[in-house]
Structure 1
């Protein structure tokens, strides 16, 4: 997914504020569902972030066009791990690894059903 950096994404110096890299990655994950005509909330629950490891390599700036690339790292019974990178052209600016856990709407951890696992495999 490609995005442009807008003024609202930056500090007063035109540099992307650190937490916005997480927002950009979240948009890319959500967009994968939207591209399939779906929303990232399932009939029986949703996915919540349990762990995020982030590395910042270089700053993005106002007006930059960024590409967010996402790949599935691991699928387990009730969770999956993604690696996401943010690039400006071929240069990696940011990378995160995120563990997403499937929960009921009440917050209880739930096993991911086979249909949802297959969906995740097609999305990422």
Structure 2
């Protein structure tokens, strides 16, 4: 997913504020579903972040065009492990691995079959 860096994404020094990399990754995860006319929710269940490992490698700046790439590393009954990277051209700027749990009312839930089939079909 392509993301342009706007003034609102930057800090006083003109570089992307660290928390915004997480927002860019969130948008990209959601967009995987939205692009296909679907949603990452089912019967009141939705994905929540359980754990994140993040590494900030280089800074993005105002006006940069970034590309967020996603790769499913593991798909389990109620969770998935996902790798997300942010690139500017051929430069990797940000690297994150996240564990997302499918939950309803704060409790883990088996991932809905349609969502599981969709995730499997992505071949990320």
Shorter-chain TM-score above 0.5: yes
Bigger Cα displacement from structure 2, 37-46 vs 82-91: 37-46
Q: Shift of residue 50 of structure 1?
A: 0.2
CA distance in 1, matches of 2:38, 2:111: 17
Alignment of 1:1-124 (within 5 A): 1-104=1-104, 106-123=105-122, 124=124
SS of the residue 1:30 aligns to: helix
- CA distance in structure 2 between the aligned counterparts of 1:25 and 1:62, rounded to whole angstroms: 18
CA deviations 1:85-108 (Å, max 9, x no partner) are 00000110001001000111x111
- Aligned-pair distance for 1:116? 2.1
User: Post-superposition, which runs of at least 4 consecutive aligned residues in structure 1 deviate over 4 A?
Assistant: none
Structure 2 gaps, min length 5: none
SS in 2 for 1:59: coil
Count of residues in Structure 1 that have an aligned counterpart in Structure 2: 123
Q: CA deviation at 1:40?
A: 2.2
**Which runs of no fewer than 5 residues in structure 1 stay unpaired?**
none
TM-score (norm 2): 0.94
